[in-house]
């Protein structure tokens, strides 16, 4: 940070430091949660599929819907479903309303695995967040909700708009 202060004295280093800390905490949190899922034989992405199916009507969905909700390509979802199918957590069946499509159904084993994984997910998050206590977690959620609204608005801006916002202001 000190070298940035020398190179660009008007740069807001506290903002940079906050952003870097947020990115680091997020990366370490993801790593910890991934390890928790691995302990029960799943990846985070596989858990997302099982959880989506657990909450879907009739515990059934189309692969294309699962791919969109998981921000994954159709090929990536096929690979993920292949593994879950091999493990007996999902079944693929022809769509009775569209012979060209398949449906993905959560099996009883898949439901049990989703619930097991949800338990380890919550335990992993608690291990990281318990140090804040209930009040600290509530405050953090409030701050993150506020940030999420701003991040979503900024993400919708064009690259040119983002570049203009980074230009130094004239005094």
Give the mean model confidence (pLDDT) for residues 77-86: 97
Mean pLDDT of the chain: 93
- CB count within 10 Å of CB 80 equals 21
Whole-number pLDDT of residue 170: 60
Top-tier CATH class for 15-128: mainly alpha
Contact 95, 101 (CB under 8 A): yes
Q: Are 104 and 77 in contact (CB under 8 A)?
A: no
Please write the tens of the pLDDT for every residue from 23-77: 999 999 999 999 999 999 999 999 999 999 999 999 999 999 999 988 899 999 9
Alpha carbon distance 77, 65 (integer Å):
10
Instruction: Give the mean model confidence (pLDDT) for residues 4-32.
Output: 92
Residue 10 has pLDDT above 70, yes or no: yes
Average pLDDT over residues 114-143: 97
């Amino acid at each position: 940070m000190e070298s940035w202060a020398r190179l660009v004295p008007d740069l807001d280093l506290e903002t940079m430091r906050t952003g870097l800390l947020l990115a680091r905490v997020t990366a370490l949190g993801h790593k910890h949660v991934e390890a928790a899922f691995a302990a029960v034989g799943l990846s985070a992405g596989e858990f997302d599929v099982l959880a989506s199916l657990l909450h879907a009507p009739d515990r059934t969905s189309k692969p294309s819907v699962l791919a969109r909700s998981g921000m994954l390509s159709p090929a990536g979802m096929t690979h993920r479903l292949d593994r879950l199918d091999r493990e007996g957590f999902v079944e693929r069946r022809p769509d009775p309303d569209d012979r060209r499509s398949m449906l993905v159904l959560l099996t009883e084993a898949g439901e049990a695995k989703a619930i097991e994984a949800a338990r380890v997910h919550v335990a992993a998050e608690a291990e990281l967040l318990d140090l804040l206590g209930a009040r600290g977690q509530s405050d953090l959620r409030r701050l993150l909700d506020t940030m999420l609204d701003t991040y979503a608005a900024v993400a919708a801006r064009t690259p040119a708009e983002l570049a203009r916002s980074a230009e130094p202001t004239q005094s």
